[in-house]
Structure 1
């Protein structure tokens, strides 16, 4: 019934497992082609990809076309705290795209700083939606590297290479000077998201009865109870008079308001039926 239980992976406080430790954390850039023959539309693979090995190999082959003047990536020595990472998850606001935080030069340095990729040869570098996608070769193996922003100062590096099963995920720490310009905007977005989640939480029976009274509706008697609920609403039922029975549905929204729909019925005859001569009423009240 709680709204929080159904909002996963949209988007605000999440968990990234980095180096065995739980870390609590949740586009506009010009595109510069390093290699004019690099395939800009090569497939992007995630950790959940179910593509078979042949299609993966085919994608790498098409991405690996390069000129004889390949650029060698050499790590600058900047410490991005890159460590192997486990699964990610959580509920948080959409983070600032990594394509805003890192420019092309910086993301290439991140790739060069990734284990086993220093001194690799650059094939292509392109922004892919909110991610940077970089293709490199080293020792005859082609690697597709995707760099994303997860939440806070935490980023994710996904490395595919060789075949579809050759996959490693790393966590990285975004240096303070890169993240600082976006810190306040992200804090505001997370706070707004948290508030919207709280606003959408279903009301309790006690709160519902108080809201009905606040809105000027007819409050059922002491036998009132929650008779049904969905992901975003509850229905309270209760007796009114000898055989009268009301049903009131309360639906919260993201702005902190609750819509109330009250219908009037009777239990006369042994089952519930709506009273034709008493039309339903609708109210909106703040929580």
Structure 2
């Protein structure tokens, strides 16, 4: 039960962080948002390390850094999709993909989830098709590109969960520190190599910091949940995060969906819930 509570809280915080990240990306370049938000998260976890149990190991840091590379690339793609597409479409598509991967990884490594979980994966694939539809030809081109980015981001986030879960026990938050350090270095290097500015847009810095801090809080909750429960269960519960993103997008940004997309979002949430309930 503790793992379920922690994973559910993680989903709520992730969704709120993504909402703020999407808002920041509409005011600043993607690279600037990712690097600065990741730096805020790195500062937070570095400050927490002396007060949390766990000791650094080479293996734990290596798994964490691999997870950071996967998560960092995913975050760039995700924030770009949020900035160019419809937030209440991008978030569920990303979540569905990231929810399915831990289940597939579990199957490949010998786990045998119940048929209900496999049914949820099938529903998730159907949801991706429905939620990507738009009745406007111009919007269809825009949303198609955003949806592809969202799918790739979901794969990256799923990889982040899987890789981070492979860190040995006893490492505490050190693998998470390695993950954030690797993602900051990677995205900063990409920004320098491509000549992208890391200066935030006017009035965006506060939003970026909030997104980064919330994202790190969610990561800490994920590590704590994963230590207390199976990855198959924790991973899909965490992927329920679009619920809070959708609520914020609807009531703050006044976003609207057509009937097919609304159905797709309902199927998406049902798919993730079905996997989680198995």
Shorter-chain TM band: under 0.3
Task: Tell which has more relative contact order, 1 or 2 (C-alpha 8 A, sep 6+).
Answer: 2
- Which has the larger share of strand? 1
Larger Rg: 1
Q: TM-score, normalised by structure 1?
A: 0.20
- Which has the larger share of helix? 2
Q: TM-score, normalised by structure 2?
A: 0.21
